Chains A and B, each alone.
Chain A
Amino acid sequence: GQQLNQSPQSMFIQEGEDVSMNCTSSSIFNTWLWYKQDPGEGPVLLIALYKAGELTSNGRLTAQFGITRKDSFLNISASIPSDVGIYFCAGQGPAGANNLFFGTGTRLTVIP
C-alpha cells in the first residue's frame, strides 16, 4: 500500500515557537486529514480538508489542502508543552472504499 512522504520526521522546538510540517504524495487525494497521537493512545483527528486549496483552522492549528491535491501542510502557532506528540497526515484517493493512506509521522518535542 502507499505511504505518504511526511516531513520532518522529528522536531525539537522552544515553547512559543511556530511549527510547520507537510505531507506529499505521488497520487492525487480527495481528502487530507491530520491526526495527533499521544504515546500509547489512538490518533485523534485534528483537521479534515475536503477541497483543493482549502485552508482550515482549529484553534492554533491551521492546515491546507494543496492546489495540486498531492500535498498538505499543518502549522501550529505559539506551541505549548501539550503539543508534544506524533502528528500524522492521511489522505484518501478517488478509488473509494474509505481507505486512508498514512504518513510516517512527525514527532514533535516542545522544550519549556
Chain B
Amino acid sequence: DGGITQSPKYLFRKEGQNVTLSCEQNLNHDAMYWYRQDPGQGLRLIYYSQIVNDFQKGDIAEGYSVSREKKESFPLTVTSAQKNPTAFYLCASTAGPGSNTQYFGPGTRLTVL
C-alpha cells in the first residue's frame, strides 16, 4: 500500500538527549515536510524539502535538523537545543511543483522527561 509512515508512534527521551524521528514515503513524492502540533493548536512548519539533498527552514526550525539523502526518507532530529520538544510531530509529502495537496503520516508523539 502506498503511503507515509512515521515511527515510532510514541517516543520518550530524557532531557538533553538528541532524538531522531523517522518519516518514509513510497508515493514517489518529491516534496516532504515536518510539522509540529501542540495541544489545541494548528500545525507549524519546521523544515521542508522539495528535492533530494536540499531542504529549507520553516517557521520554527531552531533546535531541529533534517537530512534528505533519499527521495523516500526525511528524518527529523530534535536536538537538545530545542527548548520545548514535547509535542506531536507530523510528516507530510506532496508530488512536487504544481501539486500542493499534502498527505500526512500518522504522527509521532514525543515526550521529553
Contact = CB atoms under 8 A, between A and B. Distances in A.
Nearest to A6: B42
B48 A97 contact: yes
B28 to A, nearest CB: 15
Given A1-B45, A98-B94, A104-B41, A41 B106 contact: yes
Contacts of B99: 98
Chain B contact surface mostly: strand
How many of chain A's residues touch chain B, expressed as a range?
20 to 34
A23 B4 CA distance: 27
A85 interface: no
Nearest to B60: A1
Contacts of A48: 101
A99 B42 contact: no
A100 B56 contact: no
A105 B107 CA distance: 17
